[in-house]
Structure 1
């Protein structure tokens, strides 16, 4: 293996015959951890010449970079391909904004995502989960994704936004198509929500869509106003896509991970009070999003090497989540009894995921209800299907045999 002679901490993809990370490889992203372990130790600042990006993999580096929004900006996109395309980011795309406008939009939305609204959903989420699972008792089979994982988040987002049950599938299919699209220009415009906006304008209700239609705020020019239609459409797209896809993946990974660790699964079935901590460990262990991209706004240094202004950098949250410096003694060990320490799955800083409480609630309810009915299962690997998107990784199908 050849390591950069200028600095042994920096490794170029073209010269490192063995150590290479390709963020576009679906196969690699399903199990990137051997590569991540080597990146953390051998190339904590990694440079990929082929795709022209840098990457950070150690917990402290990733955490500090996510917080430093003046050096690592989101306004050029949070996906590598979007930054490289140079596309113009549509206004109101919350995840692709920087302060101060991001703070204005985030504060506006956080007023809708209150703890009261989230917690009030628990009985309805639990009832829906039971409706999904009860017909499967005695069937011998349960698919963590198709039978529950893709159903529950879709229904919950529908509850929050006030989208009729009959239309929820169309909305989430639109989000899935957006994530899987290889064409940058096909980033969703949110038009799928147009008819619902028109309906809620005439028929207000107790939901986020009605709240967003009517809320007044002070924008970046100091003007007090309501959201424009294009802003509202983009808000709804971000909420629906991010809210549904990540939780779907979480539930799929829970099925695989607990099948791989039957002793810990048995402990959860015997003592459900351990489930919230198990959800945290699953989130750390198999994050749906492995990385987030940032545009480098000014020259910055890591390990004696300059990352020049104008570069794209990947902050490898999946690698940071297994850094033994943060999660001793070994971050590559799955342990539901691990001391709980904050991980990177929901990000950090100004872009910390505001839906984190909802995702945790959904994950907890899913595991509680599954383990009540199916305390053991084995994965049917002959029919398991990985998702083909690299933006949010996971399983399109995670079928299991149940007793």
Structure 2
């Protein structure tokens, strides 16, 4: 461990002990080192809501074009066109407008009965079983099926695709992600795009194949196969792992707060607010990285051009300056709006879908299992530096 900040606070996104419970470290960062520098991995970090919010809405200073993960920025890998979350204007503006045109609220809303039916098929056989696993039975299943339906990936192949996408986000304990794994996983979708080109349907893959748009040069054209491949891989990766984590934290946090869980079981109208509070309290992704495109002053110090900056969303979401008593979980919290889905031009296009899936899953669970407790001996946190959540979360039910 290398302590490089004068206060003695240490934060390392790859440190297993820190990731097991990062919130005490976040609090110290907010109070003692709101601008932090880690010499070992050569990055800066900001922990307060105000600083994270300001940085995420300043793409001219904090650029996304070199990647949104520390590993990608440090590796200097070339990001393929169409990787929306890792782009800057003007190309980002073109690509976001295009994807927004196919990833419509109507398409998302139309998935609700299908998601609900799948939840029912998954949960009904578990009634009277004595227990189930929030990850194995729901978290690893619902997002996979939903993204598969949205993209147009055949159901028989959805599990294999999910596992390959998940593998790219897994890391060895205490180690960064290998950037080459992230870039390589896109190729797995190539055969589906070719198949869908010959077998069009009502899905995003078909929409992308037929879409016409004006690119950054003013040329009216269709997407290339390589661009479609990138779009599809971004949607699949972003939608699978993070929603899986939301479902896992739903099980853990509500087990830790049984009184509030019982309120939700008795009044389903509280569930949308509960999902927002879960997203604030335990966000699936705790940090996002940016490349510092020009010298900038933060908290009275100059962060030089060429640096990597981590915006600690997991810390900002619990900043008492924004959320009174931020370490307290409260489904009645007012004025929530966490930074979980980002801010500004990179606000997550899949936010509505994640909220929809989280709401439906919780509604369907509470209909059948208003009471549960976690089997702590079988619960296991995932080993990954990119998202934080559970690999397994078995619970006992009455």
Q: Could you state the TM-score of these two structures normalised by the residue count of structure 2? A: 0.96
| Secondary structure of the corresponding residue to residue 142 of structure 1 | strand
Partners of 1:30 and 1:129 lie apart in 2 by: 30
> Match for residue 276 of structure 1?
272
CA contact (8 A) 2:4 2:37 kept: no
Aligned-residue offset at 1:207: 0.5
Name whichever of 84-93 and 231-240 sits farther off: 84-93
CA contact (8 A) 1:142 1:400 kept: yes
> Match for residue 348 of structure 1?
343
> Match for residue 226 of structure 2?
230
CA contact (8 A) 2:71 2:178 kept: no
> Match for residue 174 of structure 2?
none
Partners of 1:84 and 1:113 lie apart in 2 by: 31
Residues 1:170 and 2:160 are matched in the alignment: yes
Superposed, which structure 2 residues align to 1:383-394 within 5 Å? Answer: 383-394=378-389
> Match for residue 396 of structure 1?
391
Residues 1:253 and 2:249 are matched in the alignment: yes
Superposed, which structure 2 residues align to 1:64-83 within 5 Å? Answer: 64-83=54-73
> Match for residue 47 of structure 1?
37
Aligned-residue offset at 1:14: 2.5
Q: Gaps (5+ residues) in structure 2?
A: 172-176
Aligned-residue offset at 1:186: 2.2
CA contact (8 A) 2:102 2:207 kept: yes
Superposed, which structure 2 residues align to 1:157-196 within 5 Å? Answer: 157-180=147-170, 182-189=177-184, 190-196=186-192
CA contact (8 A) 2:255 2:374 kept: yes
CA contact (8 A) 1:157 1:243 kept: yes
| 1:203-230 CA distance string (max 9 Å, x none) | 1111100000010111111111111111
> Match for residue 221 of structure 1?
217
> Match for residue 293 of structure 1?
289
CA pair 133-27 structure 1, distance change in 2 beyond 3 A: farther
Partners of 1:171 and 1:15 lie apart in 2 by: 42
Residues 1:128 and 2:123 are matched in the alignment: no
Partners of 1:16 and 1:252 lie apart in 2 by: 37
CA contact (8 A) 1:180 1:389 kept: yes
CA contact (8 A) 1:289 1:391 kept: yes
Aligned-residue offset at 1:17: 7.4
CA contact (8 A) 2:115 2:360 kept: yes
Aligned-residue offset at 1:356: 0.3
Superposed, which structure 2 residues align to 1:355-366 within 5 Å? Answer: 355-366=350-361
Partners of 2:374 and 2:66 lie apart in 1 by: 40
Q: Gaps (5+ residues) in structure 1?
A: 1-11
| 1:213-255 CA distance string (max 9 Å, x none) | 0101111111111111111111111100110111100000010
Aligned-residue offset at 1:16: 4.7
Deviating runs (4+, > 3 A) in structure 1?
15-18
Partners of 2:43 and 2:312 lie apart in 1 by: 12
CA contact (8 A) 1:243 1:355 kept: yes
> How big is the alpha-carbon RMSD for the aligned residues of Structure 1 and Structure 2?
1.2
| 1:347-400 CA distance string (max 9 Å, x none) | 000100010000000000000000111111111111111111110111011110
CA pair 247-357 structure 1, distance change in 2 beyond 3 A: same
Name whichever of 106-115 and 284-293 sits farther off: 106-115
Superposed, which structure 2 residues align to 1:81-120 within 5 Å? Answer: 81-120=71-110
> Match for residue 9 of structure 1?
none
> Match for residue 311 of structure 2?
315
Partners of 2:187 and 2:340 lie apart in 1 by: 29
| Secondary structure of the corresponding residue to residue 377 of structure 2 | helix
Number of residue pairs aligned between Structure 1 and Structure 2:
391
> Match for residue 154 of structure 1?
144
| 1:131-167 CA distance string (max 9 Å, x none) | 0101111111111111011100000001111111100
